[in-house]
Structure 1
Amino acid sequence: MNQHLSKNSPFKTLISFHKLIESLEEIALSDVDYRSNYAKSLLKEIEHIPEFRTGIEDFSVITNNKKLIRNLLADLFPTALTHNEIKAVAIPFQNIIFNRTKRFKKIVKNAGESDLLIRDFSEDQFYALSCILILNAYYNQTFDYNKPLFYDIPDADGVLKHYRILYNADFIEIYPSGNAPTLSQEDIDELMDNFNNVALWKEKFPAESWILKGFGIISLFDATKESAISNLKSNLLKRDKRPENDTNVSESIFRSIFKIPDLRIGISIYNDDEKKFTKLPLDKNSIGSFILQNENEMECCNAFLGCSLNRILEGKETISISNVETFATIPGNERFAQSLLDQNIKSCIFTAVAKEDKLLGIIELVSATPRQLNSINANNLQLILPNIIDTLERYDSDLQNQIEAIIQREYTAIHSSVYWKFKAEAQKYLNTNATNKEHTFKEIVFNEVYPLYGQIDINGSSEHRNNTVKEDLKSQLNHLIAIFENSKSIQKLPLLEQLKFELHTYSEDLEKELKADTEQQIQTYIEKEIHPFLNNAIADSDDKLLLDAYFENLDPKTKLFYHARKKFDEAMSIINKEMAAVLDNEQIEAQAIFPHYFERFKTDGVEHNLYIGASITPSQSFDLMYLNNLRLWQLQTLCKMELEHHRLKKVLPYTLDVSSLILVFSSPISIRFRMDEKRFDVDGTYNARYEVVKKRIDKAHIKGTTERITQKEKITIVYSHQYEETEYLKYIKFLQFKKVLEPQIEQFEVEDLQGVYGLKAIRIKVMNTDENLDSRYTYKELLDTLH
């Protein structure tokens, strides 16, 4: 018997059979002899135990009188139903349970005789519910609290069963003790609005201030399947986690529904675009797939390893295999059956999850026991399939939204500063579309905005690229020539001299300037002439080692040497990635100055455009002070990017220098979102001058010389007006004071460009002293970041 009477209760509990005894006394006075005699004899048996009537506080009274209590309660607990009913005497919400039916005893015994705890039922809830009982019974209130109460009890096989708790309180009476406060209607109204305020309930109903006298009857109803389905719904509906999360909870629910202790579950998601099965995104508790096993994705034609289970794909049907070992004996099923047996699967069910004839995925139920899963209990899936369909459909929708968000962010991003205008236009479309009216999208234009352009460019990137291509091609040709000259078994072939001559000719061509088609010509020649020759030549063991070493040096895709170019490409990628990271990180601070439109591009370096003005952020008052602040921010950020490059140079796999450029343009312009290109561009012929200058300025020379205006390790600021020069010289002086820029300043005129005249420039070097370079990198750290 559970004997855990809560001390934290408004009740002083007296277990009493007084109402039942009063009923027996009435029967004893009746004219029905057998009923009257039975009642009299029972009353005589209990008359020496006055506590049965006055109230029992010592549990030993119950323990010592089990048989007598069983006889007293015989009308309420018929012997003929003891193996069927799950019933006992109990005090509501408390762990006081005795006089259990045999079925009740068996359930508890199979669970290990552990105490029964009500699911999700706290001490605070118990206190408040006990008080609600008082309000309804004594104060004639009608508070409705119908939260279903459950016991979760494992059976002998470990399958968790769920039992709904029903209470009968006909034999209980509730009345106040001497120290119980009397409640007014205002007190009751206050309690009505404060269910979760347990301190208030304890104030109005102090501990043991009320008497609960009598006994209740608890009846359990096996609601395992219904409760498990409800739990599954709750689990699947949680938006803060995917359906695959918490595998143990999900498997426990399925085990309860199917009553199979070793049941495991898997999910394969169907990708209709690529006709593939994929796993759910991985996390430490994610549900896997028994079909895909260790593969993250698999073509539909291969998913069943040659087994003909097209009914799932074509008919959206359920496939059940009650005995995998027998299934394996059917021709055509051997590979799939062996795959299941390797995973200790002896019976299984695979069912299609489809919505409106669209396949979303496959639910996989498996067991290590033959015949546990079969076509009969497969019907249990019909009870939960609608919830799984809704969940996977929601998951598919969320996944598409995430994919769309990634595409927007990484490929066609709409910057947060202008998102409001696109959102407003989209809202107009939705509103008009709802009324079936035609809608013409309004062009997104921002007028009177001030542009800022800057770049950090990798110097001579095309020349470096050509040099590394030539270096790799020369190395490969020299390796091939060495093979032909040093080979003992291959050199006997007549064609050898011809091939050696052609290889020498191509090698000599590489000493000249690299032409656009040179690489392609050499690649085609090696692929079509040399490699077939080497693959078909009969070589001895020494020559075979020579050939193997050569082929191991080839890039898998191009079949060319990729050594010098790899170092160059990695250096380019590292510089671009690190420069973009500095810029993106500094943008957080820049947006705090004043919200503005920002975009950057990675080419042979990193370029960025900024547009600031009242039309982009109409909710805030714009002042030219914000433009000046942003210009200083831009200059400081390029200084940081230059310093970052200095830190990188010592560990880059290929030495590359950079130069920086700022274009100052003080006239406001308009920008328009080009629907065809999905990007912003300047609007109108007048504003086009800005774009012309941007495209031509970085290749310009100092007027009257052949010297480029940009130089390595320096920042060049190009401008048109005297007041722009004055403004930037102030910024430079400030950064020189901060020991960021070197003291020497160069000023010069820029050569006339087509349609652009009168440009001037300031050039200044960033101070790359040890004091400024306060952090270092290793090459391994850079590669880890890159990959």
Structure 2
Amino acid sequence: MTHQFFTESPFKTMISFHKLIEALEEISISDVDYRANYAKALLKEIEPFPEFRTGIEDLNLIYDNEILIKNLLADLFPTALTNNEIKAVTIPFQNFTFNYTERFKKIVQQAGIAFDMSIRNLDEHQFYIMSCTLILNQFYGQNIDYNNPLFYDIPSENGVMNQYRILYNADFLEIQPTDNVNPISQDDIDLLMDNCDDIALWKEKFPVNSWTLKGFGIAILFDATTESAISNLKSNLLKPEIELITLQDNFESIFRSIFKNPNLKVGMIIYDEEQDKFVKTTYNNDESSGSFILSAEGEINCNNEFFGCSFEKLLKDKKPLSIANVENFALVPGNEKLGQHLLKQNIQSCIFCPIVKNDVILGIIELVSPNKRELSSLNARKLDLIIPYLIDTTERHNLDKQNQIEAIIQREYTAIHPSVYWKFRQEALQYFETKRQNKDYIFKEIVFKEVFPLYGQIDIKGSSEHRNKTVKEDLKKQLSTVIEIFENHGSDTNILLLEQRKFELKSLLDQLNLPLKADTEQQIQLYIQNEIHPVLKNAENGAAEKSYFDSLDEKSGLYYHARKQFDNALSIINKKLAGVLDEKQTEAQNIFPHYYERFKTDGIEHNLYIGSSIAPMKAFDIMYLHNLRLWQLQTLCEMEMEHHQLKSSLPYELDVTSLILVFSSPISIRFRMDEKRFDVDGTYNARYEVVKKRIDKANIKGTMERITEEEKITIVYSHNSERIEYLNYIKFLQFKNIVEPVIEEFEVEELQGVSGLKAIRVKVQNNNFDQNIKKYSYEDLLNELH
């Protein structure tokens, strides 16, 4: 054990027994002879050591005179109590002690020579300020309570960490100023009180070694292991689960301290009432720190016979199950499976304690030991101190889990975009406050007025034609395969039936050379399943039949080859492009908070709404709308480039077309409670939705050519100001070599209820994909144009 002092202190410390010597001198002149003679004898013994009175600076003097000092301190350290009390002489707050009681000596010896008996969580900063507060209290009449409970963490002989609370007796200490003391005013004291972290200030007011601390203190310890461990347990249980992962070892050491058992291991399982099963907690999936009941299993039904009769009693009575000898437990009929399961993990004694609230089991705490009889019903009672905190933690765990599930459902299925979440929260808070007052509350509609819409899509070109083509291809292949199988069964006894089926199959095959009708696929599949498959299954199980059935899709039972390639290609494109859009959208929110939603169909559609009502705490300027329009155009260019790179590697090659609809008039959007989504509000704004739904299938006026074309972006607008704005964007992107030089302009054919639309079309420079595409802001564009 080292005797390391803190390097800096406001005190110049001198170990002295002067107050004790003065007390002995008073006793020596008393009328009680035996006390007086005893005091005189002690005073004579210490007479050769004037340092005992004036102050000891050489610590070797203490070590060389241990017996004399022990006799000098005999009244303070009674021999009759030496095996019971944990006490020693010390300099307060420092790692220096001597004159131990026998019990203290034993504790220190068991800790080992490597043990350093320093005070827990006391650093030099705290020590310095604590010393200064002693001066303020004693010399300046203050009543400052700076001291926190102080503890020694001392390991026992078997490795269990015990916690000892430290109490100081300072009756034999005195504080004296030196010539280096700085005068302290009340203003100085007030300044110090408000700046406990400014160590430089404290050292300025109380310079190092400016005061003398003369005498000695007595450190009195009592074993607070259980109380301290429970306190640490509470602190750990209050931490979020992400920290519990890293605190598992500490969690186990706390239980070892409470049970005084270095071999103890701890596990826990949670009860899922909804599914009547036990599951591992979310922070103990690792086998080494998980559940000993579940072991490698992630969950188990509560009615499983694995638990046996004893565990069933635990679940029924909700009382702890203590097994002092697992080998004997495993011999009891009904307990064999659980007993053997525990023995395989080298568990010889254990306690399984239910965590119960409102007569419902929330989980099971598991304590296990590799030694027999270390855990039993006798020490199981210690869990009574812990279970209340575990109840709160388990309940919080279950609540957090439910909240996370709700959050996942909201995020993945009924998400409310962060830009408008504040208004939903505001309405929910209003409902919550009203409900607390037992009042009826009618939810207000969520409406955002005067917002500017932006709509864009990147669509699979000719997706319906491609889908029909793959359907025909699969059906033709399936019909041809079945016809071939039937033709190879020419000698079958049911030859007339086979001829009839072949005729019907060939008729269906001829139908596929005509345009595909809405019900053609369904009719052919029903015919094959009802008329053909029974014949093939009743025939001899030949290689051709086996190969045919193996080629069918397991889930649908259909021939699903060309369609699968098309569906996979569509899914890959949608996933990739949606990922690009979502990633860029996160950046776009920095322009100005705005509402964003996207949809996967045969391609990707997105809606953006920007305006002051979306983010009322920020000043809105029309520049933010222009910035977002430029961002949208650049993002569609990048999505086109991504698809161009992706196209050659697709299982089914598909082209895409891109479209932007420009709408400069502000509109209102309302949250539709029945549909759980936003939609435009009012008949005045309906024109925008009509255009959105009809524009992508429109043709160039006076032709049969679609306004959209592969690898090109089409921008549909109504007003000349919009044309000028987007031509400036395009010229800027041309300058940056993102789009090609040619600009097409044309009128859009009249749509039902919509006329006067015009469009700009420009091709994306796909050969520049490998370059690092920089996103340019609206300010960049203005700088280039001016």
Letter in 1 for 2:77: F
Give the CA deviation at 1:608.
Answer: 0.5
Out of 278, 290, 293, the position equivalent to 1:291 is 293
Q: Any idea what SS the aligned residue of 2:331 has?
A: coil
> 1:54 matched to which residue of 2?
54
How far apart in 1 are the matches of 2:202 and 2:305?
61
> 1:327 matched to which residue of 2?
329
Give the CA deviation at 1:675.
Answer: 0.7
How far apart in 2 are the matches of 1:507 and 1:299?
55
8 Å contact from structure 1 (residues 470, 510) kept in 2: no
8 Å contact from structure 1 (residues 446, 616) kept in 2: yes
Distance 1:400 1:500, change over 3 A: farther
Letter in 1 for 2:256: R
8 Å contact from structure 2 (residues 14, 214) kept in 1: yes
Letter in 2 for 1:18: H
Letter in 2 for 1:73: L
8 Å contact from structure 1 (residues 579, 644) kept in 2: yes
How far apart in 1 are the matches of 2:107 and 2:233?
24
- The answer to whether structure 1 residue 367 and structure 2 residue 365 are counterparts is no
Distance 1:365 1:450, change over 3 A: same
How far apart in 1 are the matches of 2:210 and 2:596?
69
Out of 767, 771, 775, the position equivalent to 1:774 is 771
Within 5 Å, give how 1:709-748 maps onto structure 2: 709-748=707-746
How far apart in 1 are the matches of 2:45 and 2:654?
105
- The answer to whether structure 1 residue 74 and structure 2 residue 74 are counterparts is yes
How far apart in 2 are the matches of 1:56 and 1:397?
62
Distance 1:188 1:622, change over 3 A: closer
- TM-superposition CA deviations, 1:674-702 (whole Å, max 9, x none): 11111111222332232222222222333
- The answer to whether structure 1 residue 420 and structure 2 residue 425 are counterparts is no
> 1:280 matched to which residue of 2?
281
8 Å contact from structure 1 (residues 527, 559) kept in 2: no
> 1:765 matched to which residue of 2?
763
> 1:352 matched to which residue of 2?
354
Q: Any idea what SS the aligned residue of 2:303 has?
A: helix
Letter in 1 for 2:64: N
> 2:36 matched to which residue of 1?
36
Within 5 Å, give how 1:51-450 maps onto structure 2: 51-113=51-113, 114-239=115-240, 241-282=242-283, 287-302=289-304, 304=306, 309-311=311-313, 313-450=315-452
Give the CA deviation at 1:655.
Answer: 1.4
8 Å contact from structure 2 (residues 712, 761) kept in 1: yes
8 Å contact from structure 1 (residues 280, 287) kept in 2: no
8 Å contact from structure 2 (residues 241, 283) kept in 1: no
Letter in 2 for 1:155: S
> 2:667 matched to which residue of 1?
669
How far apart in 1 are the matches of 2:29 and 2:268?
69
Within 5 Å, give how 1:583-662 maps onto structure 2: 583-662=581-660
Give the CA deviation at 1:623.
Answer: 4.4
- TM-superposition CA deviations, 1:356-409 (whole Å, max 9, x none): 344433222222222222222222222122222222322333333333333332
How far apart in 2 are the matches of 1:251 and 1:496?
78
8 Å contact from structure 1 (residues 267, 287) kept in 2: no
> Comparing 247-256 with 313-322, which one deviates more in the overlay?
313-322
Give the CA deviation at 1:588.
Answer: 3.4
Distance 1:6 1:721, change over 3 A: closer
> Comparing 322-331 with 118-127, which one deviates more in the overlay?
322-331
- TM-superposition CA deviations, 1:168-222 (whole Å, max 9, x none): 1111122123333343333333323322222222222222222222221111100
Distance 1:472 1:227, change over 3 A: farther
The root-mean-square deviation of aligned C-alpha atoms, in Å, is 3.5
8 Å contact from structure 2 (residues 244, 283) kept in 1: no
Distance 1:3 1:354, change over 3 A: same
How far apart in 1 are the matches of 2:350 and 2:498?
62
8 Å contact from structure 1 (residues 598, 608) kept in 2: yes
8 Å contact from structure 2 (residues 508, 524) kept in 1: no
Distance 1:775 1:134, change over 3 A: closer
Q: Which runs of 5+ in 2 are unaligned?
A: 774-786
8 Å contact from structure 2 (residues 658, 712) kept in 1: yes
> Comparing 146-155 with 550-559, which one deviates more in the overlay?
550-559
Letter in 1 for 2:764: V
> 1:782 matched to which residue of 2?
none
Q: Which runs of 5+ in 1 are unaligned?
A: 777-787
Give the CA deviation at 1:775.
Answer: 7.6
Give the CA deviation at 1:143.
Answer: 1.8
- TM-superposition CA deviations, 1:436-483 (whole Å, max 9, x none): 221111111222333221111112334434554565666677888899
Give the CA deviation at 1:257.
Answer: 1.1
Q: Any idea what SS the aligned residue of 1:95 has?
A: coil
Letter in 2 for 1:389: I
> 2:45 matched to which residue of 1?
45
> 2:782 matched to which residue of 1?
none
Distance 1:236 1:523, change over 3 A: farther
How far apart in 2 are the matches of 1:420 and 1:698?
34
Give the CA deviation at 1:226.
Answer: 0.2
Out of 575, 579, 582, the position equivalent to 2:580 is 582
8 Å contact from structure 1 (residues 5, 95) kept in 2: yes
8 Å contact from structure 1 (residues 242, 395) kept in 2: no
Q: Any idea what SS the aligned residue of 1:436 has?
A: coil
Give the CA deviation at 1:90.
Answer: 1.1
> 2:522 matched to which residue of 1?
517
Distance 1:735 1:391, change over 3 A: same
Q: Any idea what SS the aligned residue of 2:766 has?
A: coil
Give the CA deviation at 1:650.
Answer: 2.3
8 Å contact from structure 2 (residues 87, 104) kept in 1: yes
- TM-superposition CA deviations, 1:237-270 (whole Å, max 9, x none): 2348454442111111111111121222222233
Q: Any idea what SS the aligned residue of 1:366 has?
A: strand
8 Å contact from structure 1 (residues 523, 560) kept in 2: no
> Comparing 74-83 with 350-359, which one deviates more in the overlay?
350-359
How far apart in 2 are the matches of 1:66 and 1:527?
106
How far apart in 1 are the matches of 2:96 and 2:772?
69
Give the CA deviation at 1:643.
Answer: 0.9
> Comparing 635-644 with 313-322, which one deviates more in the overlay?
313-322
How far apart in 1 are the matches of 2:560 and 2:195?
73
> 1:5 matched to which residue of 2?
5
- TM-superposition CA deviations, 1:732-781 (whole Å, max 9, x none): 33333332222333344434433333433333222212x344389xxxxx
> 1:779 matched to which residue of 2?
none
Give the CA deviation at 1:92.
Answer: 0.7
8 Å contact from structure 2 (residues 356, 391) kept in 1: yes
How far apart in 1 are the matches of 2:134 and 2:598?
67
Q: Percent identity?
A: 63
Letter in 2 for 1:35: R
> 1:781 matched to which residue of 2?
none
- TM-superposition CA deviations, 1:613-643 (whole Å, max 9, x none): 3333334444444433333322222111111
How far apart in 2 are the matches of 1:532 and 1:315?
56
Distance 1:189 1:760, change over 3 A: closer
Give the CA deviation at 1:160.
Answer: 0.8
- TM-superposition CA deviations, 1:652-677 (whole Å, max 9, x none): 23212111122223333222111111
Q: Any idea what SS the aligned residue of 1:12 has?
A: strand
Out of 678, 695, 701, the position equivalent to 2:676 is 678
8 Å contact from structure 1 (residues 473, 560) kept in 2: no
8 Å contact from structure 1 (residues 576, 606) kept in 2: yes
8 Å contact from structure 2 (residues 536, 545) kept in 1: no
